[in-house]
Structure 1
Amino acid sequence: MQLFVISYKAGAKGCPVLLKGVLNHDWTWDEFDPDPDKFNITLNYEYRSKNPLIDFDFWNDFRIGSDAFCELCDSFGTYVRRVPLKIIQSNGKPTVKKYNYLLWRDWLSIIDTEKSDYEISRDPRTGEIEYDKYFSEIPFYEEITRFIPNLDKIGKKSVFKCVDIHCEVVCTETFRDACIERGFLGLDFIPIEEFKMIPPWKR
């Protein structure tokens, strides 16, 4: 089984290098919480973009996905809570595609700690290992230069948030092929063995 990190790819029409604009409300949820349904979200979110055209299907850095991307996740049995997001382009017109903020329930730790190369984060004062806020048995990885997955940990999941690499979205080859078949825009698929997580101060 081949796994991929879904990254954003700019360049296509409607896929800007930067998403510029103003959101009308702060989020009322924690994006890292694996229980997205516990949040009582009542606000209507609207993003006034300074970009002339928005047409991407998924941008994980902003936690935004199109209806079509969400529907594909649903079809693969992955639950993603949708918070509707209306995006107004710089010409004053709303986007053709319908968008949502994505709150994920499926989070997995899949790193093979015996085969991968990594550094675990430690408290600078005590030297003790730091652990993930919501997954207390999983250490917080500061750096991963070689990621080898333990495929036994994946089960039947085809797309999920990966705890080990700080909420990046990982998918199977089958899910990747379905995205390509549907012509989704703004998605790049990096083989997980080639993915590196380097802290900013080491770049």
Structure 2
Amino acid sequence: MTLDNSRFFVINFKPSGEGLSHYIDKEYTPELPAFNIHDGLPKLNEFRNRYTLKTTVDNLAGDYYPLDDLASNEMLSLCSELNVEYFNVPLKIQLSNRMGLSKNYNLFYLKKYISIIDKDKSEYEVDDFITDDEKIYFSKIDRFVVKEGVNDHLFFCPDVGKPVCSLDFKERFTKQGLVGVDFIAIDSNYKYDEWDN
């Protein structure tokens, strides 16, 4: 299936009260492997089969916490429906109030890193302070044109340093009643500034 290449969305976490707090204090047992999400995942065999997450929040109610690498089982099901390439590890979560959760959660990492910007048609500034022979880091994108041939539904986009999804993913996420994120259209109004992100 060919996707409408003008219909992609940057995914932002949407804090909105109980269960979707701005910050989740996290303590993992055992400790997670150290890595920088912008550079890619560590080898998958560096992860354990299961982790316990102890947190100071009283509740978790969202389905996707992109800043915290958490996703509900419902989010995993949606990703599987759309053949999204991801890696997950089940979590046991201990809330500060010792109450139970209505959802089961997982560590969640996108395996695919895809640059989708058409460099010839877009208007942008390159970050000169970060040097890497293999990657371009954008400090600003004033006009973001998505290149042809992008057929994935959810992936990490290094152009903006965030997850990006297709219109189909967005519509299914909403229709299935999943919560926790905003979808920002990559259209003629979309702008990226690394200092505002």
Residues 1:39 and 1:120: Cα distance change in structure 2 (over 3 Å): farther
Query: Displacement of 1:6 after TM fit?
Result: 1.2
- SS of 1:62's partner is coil
Among 20, 24, 27, the residue aligned to 1:19: 24
Greater mean alpha carbon deviation, residues 35-44 or residues 5-14: 35-44
| Residue in structure 2 matched with residue 42 of structure 1 by the alignment | 48
CA–CA distance in structure 2, aligned partners of residues 172 and 131 of structure 1: 28
| Residue in structure 2 matched with residue 58 of structure 1 by the alignment | 64
- SS of 2:32's partner is coil
Among 117, 136, 151, the residue aligned to 1:139: 136
- SS of 1:87's partner is strand
CA–CA distance in structure 1, aligned partners of residues 39 and 177 of structure 2: 30
Q: Any unmatched runs of 5+ in structure 1?
A: 124-128
**Structure 1 or 2: larger helix share?**
1
Instruction: Tell whether 2:121 aligns with 1:90.
Output: no
**Alignment-mate amino acid for residue 131 of structure 2:** E
Q: Could you give the per-residue CA deviations for residues 9-36 of structure 1, whole angstroms, max 9, x where no partner exists? A: 1115421222234333432153346566
Residues 1:38 and 1:122: Cα distance change in structure 2 (over 3 Å): same
Q: Any unmatched runs of 5+ in structure 2?
A: none
- SS of 1:110's partner is coil
Instruction: Tell whether 2:111 aligns with 1:105.
Output: yes
1:3-18 counterparts in 2 under 5 A?
3-11=8-16, 13-18=18-23
TM-score by length of 2: 0.83
| Residue in structure 1 matched with residue 186 of structure 2 by the alignment | 192
Residues 1:5 and 1:199: Cα distance change in structure 2 (over 3 Å): closer
Q: Could you give the per-residue CA deviations for residues 47-93 of structure 1, whole angstroms, max 9, x where no partner exists? A: 22222211111111111111111121111111111022222222113
Instruction: Tell whether 2:135 aligns with 1:130.
Output: no
Q: CA RMSD in A?
A: 2.5
CA–CA distance in structure 2, aligned partners of residues 108 and 29 of structure 1: 22
Aligned residues: 190
CA contact (8 A) 1:131 1:139 kept: yes
Tell me the percent identity: 25
**Alignment-mate amino acid for residue 187 of structure 1:** V
1:113-124 counterparts in 2 under 5 A?
113-123=119-129
**Alignment-mate amino acid for residue 173 of structure 2:** C
